Amino acid sequence: MKIIHTGDWHIGKLVHGVHMTEDQRHILKQLVELIEKEKPQVLIIAGDIYDRSIPPVEAVELLDETLSEIILKQDITVIAIAGNHDSPDRVGFASKILTDRGLHIRGNISREIFPVRIEDEYGPVDFYPVPFAEPAVVRELYGDSEVKSHDDAMKKVLRRIVDKFDGNARKVCISHAFLMGTEVLETSESERPLSIGGSEYINVDYYEDFDYVALGHLHRPQKVKHEKIRYSGSLLKYSFSEARQKKSITIVDMDGEGNIHYELRELKPLRDLRIIKGDLNNLMDKDIYSLGNTEDYIMASLTDKGELMDPIGMLRSVYPNILRLEREQYDREAGEDRTSAGNEFSKKNPIELFSEFYENMSGEEFDEDKMEIVTGVLDEINRKGREA
Ligand SMILES: [Mn+2]
């Protein structure tokens, strides 16, 4: 059986105030084309379909267009769950009506998680969609006051599923969670923490009885302990911490024994999201900027020292989609909080104050040549002050 595993679509997301809908439409079109070519039996969306519990109209329309194309025109089964960004009620809306057409969306977690059974030439495969749920919801559902953490909750939910396994079927779990294996997993800034105060981690061992585990939540594609337990990663880069990540779609092939073989397929975004670094003149140099797509979403890290006139405006004239600007030197030094404000600044003369300010900001020595220039300026200001 061929399965396409995706997750974290985050339709309707804003990155630094910019709507990603156009970029998402572009990437989803490629996904639709990929599905047309690969002809999987099932498409999985492992949570965070939308970015917000109340998505904007364009986001709802985009999801509707995409799923209609995949389900109604291509006749592919889609199994999706709510993630921590989705509203379980909204995502689950009308799900009963759509089941017959091949759309299985689970919004709210239920006590009994019934599998979606899909047959291939070797027999049945049971897909268990486990939507994201707070520990308190699971505690209530099972009437078990011992369920306090995400780990407790998922242990409970998964044990119940595993206890009722049908021995004749192969099994796939779909889950939106932060698993903890042996290695350190890579996180991204665009993932919202699953738990405030408590631990968000779940022991990967609870998932080991499944033949494949399709995970959502972490935005970088990666495995957890076993190759068969994987995050597909998000559709697009949604923060600058992901600038160096490679986003992909996971194509899984499962044989009659439940062994899996997978392949990562990269899609091409309309605009990449990347970090450029250098001094302003360099970044404004045609020989340099023409090496990349200037329409990309850009964070510029400027290495210039000293004052710059409207650097963001200048950069925007070349990189229209610049989203963020950082001054390398300035940002680093400012963090050290070595201002003289708390240190008897009133007893210091303007030259001493300026010299401290300069050294904090630039990280360089305020030498005699510089002192001479600033002294000259200060003298002139004083003189003009007297004349006025
Ligand atoms: Mn997410």
Q: For residue 75, tell me if it sits in a domain.
A: yes
111 Cα to the center of ligand 1, angstroms: 24
Q: Is residue 116 in a domain? A: yes
Neighbours of 297 (CB within 10 A): 24
- How far is the centre of ligand 1, averaged over its atoms, from the C-alpha of 249 (Å)? 15
- Residue 209 maps to a domain: yes
Q: So what's the pLDDT on residue 381?
A: 81
What is the CA(48)–ligand 1 centre distance, in A? 5
Ligand 1 centre and the CA of 71: distance in Å? 23
Centre of ligand 1 to C-alpha 336, Å, is 33
In 10 A of CB 52, how many CB atoms?
16
Domain boundary among 333, 357, 378: 333
Determine the distance separating the centroid of ligand 1 and the alpha carbon of 81, expressed in angstroms.
12
| 292 and 159 within one domain | no
- Flag the least confident range among 4-13, 54-63, 89-98, 311-320: 89-98
Least confident of 26-30, 54-58, 194-198, 375-379: 194-198
Do 220 and 349 fall into the same domain? no
My answer on whether 224 and 290 are in the same domain is no
Q: Is the pLDDT of residue 387 over 80?
A: no
Are 326 and 201 in the same domain? no
Using one digit for the tens of pLDDT, what is the confidence trace for 235-294?
999 999 999 999 999 999 999 999 999 999 999 999 999 999 999 999 999 999 999 999
Q: Which residues contact 106 (CB under 8 A, 6 or more apart)?
A: 80, 81, 82, 92, 95, 113, 129, 130, 131
Compute the distance from residue 7 Cα to the ligand 1 centre, in Å.
Answer: 8
Is 51 contained in some domain?
A: yes
CA nearest 70: which of 25, 34, 23? Answer: 34
- Looking at the domain assignment, is residue 185 inside a domain? yes
Domain limit, last residue, from 218, 243, 265: 265
CA of 217 to the centre of ligand 1 (A): 4
User: Do 289 and 357 share a domain, yes or no?
Assistant: no
Confidence of residue 332 (pLDDT cuts 50, 70, 90): low
Quick one: 104 and 146 in the same domain? yes
Residues 6+ apart with CB under 8 A from 379: none
Same domain, 299 and 349: no
In a domain, 338, yes or no: no
Q: How far is the CA of 205 from the centre of ligand 1 (A)?
A: 22
Task: In whole angstroms, give the CA distance from residue 92 to residue 77.
Answer: 16
Residue 169 is predicted with a pLDDT of: 97
Please state the separation of Cα 82 from the chain's center in Å.
16
- 384/366: higher pLDDT: 366
The answer to whether residues 259 and 317 belong to one domain is no
Give the per-residue pLDDT at 137. Answer: 95
Residue that wins the pLDDT comparison between 177 and 340: 177
371 and 306, same structural domain?
Answer: no
Over residues 16-39, the pLDDT tens digits come to: 999 999 999 999 999 999 999 999
100 is a domain residue = yes
pLDDT digits (tens, 9 = 90+) for 126-160: 999 999 999 999 999 999 999 999 999 999 999 99
CA 218 / ligand 1 centre spacing (Å): 6
Res. 331: pLDDT tops 60:
no
CATH number, domain with residue 24: 3.60.21.10
**Domains of the chain: total:** 3
| Alpha carbon of 234 to ligand 1 centroid (Å) | 7
- pLDDT of 340 above 50: no
What was the pLDDT predicted at 346? 65
For 381, the domain range is 344-387
What's the CA-to-centroid distance between 175 and ligand 1, angstroms? 12
Residues 360 and 310 in one domain: no
For residue 339, tell me if it sits in a domain. no
Distance 178 CA to ligand 1 centre (A): 11
Q: Which residues surround ligand 1, an ion (CB under 5 A)?
A: 8, 48
* Alpha-helix residue ranges (DSSP H) falling in 54-131: 57-68, 88-92, 95-99
Dist. CA 309 → ligand 1 center (Å): 38
Which of 268, 220, 266 is CA-nearest to residue 244?
220
Q: Characterize 157-185 residue by residue with b for buried, 16 or more Cβ atoms within 10 angstroms of its Cβ, and e for exposed.
A: bbeebbeeeeeebbbbbbbbbbbbbeeeb
- Distance from the alpha carbon of residue 283 to the mean position of ligand 1, in angstroms: 32
Q: How far is the CA of 26 from the centre of ligand 1 (A)?
A: 19
> Do strands 14-15 and 18-19 pair parallel, antiparallel, or not at all (unpaired)?
antiparallel
Of 10-14, 126-130, 194-198, 265-269, the one with minimum mean pLDDT is 194-198
Quick one: 222 and 350 in the same domain?
no
Cα of 188 vs centre of ligand 1, distance in Å, is 9
Residues 27 and 163 both lie in one domain: yes
Task: Return the pLDDT at 343.
Answer: 55
Q: At which of 210, 239, 265 does a domain end?
A: 265
Higher pLDDT among residues 172 and 88, named by residue? 172
CA of 120 to the centre of ligand 1 (A): 31
Centre of ligand 1 to C-alpha 9, Å, is 7
> pLDDT value at position 174?
98
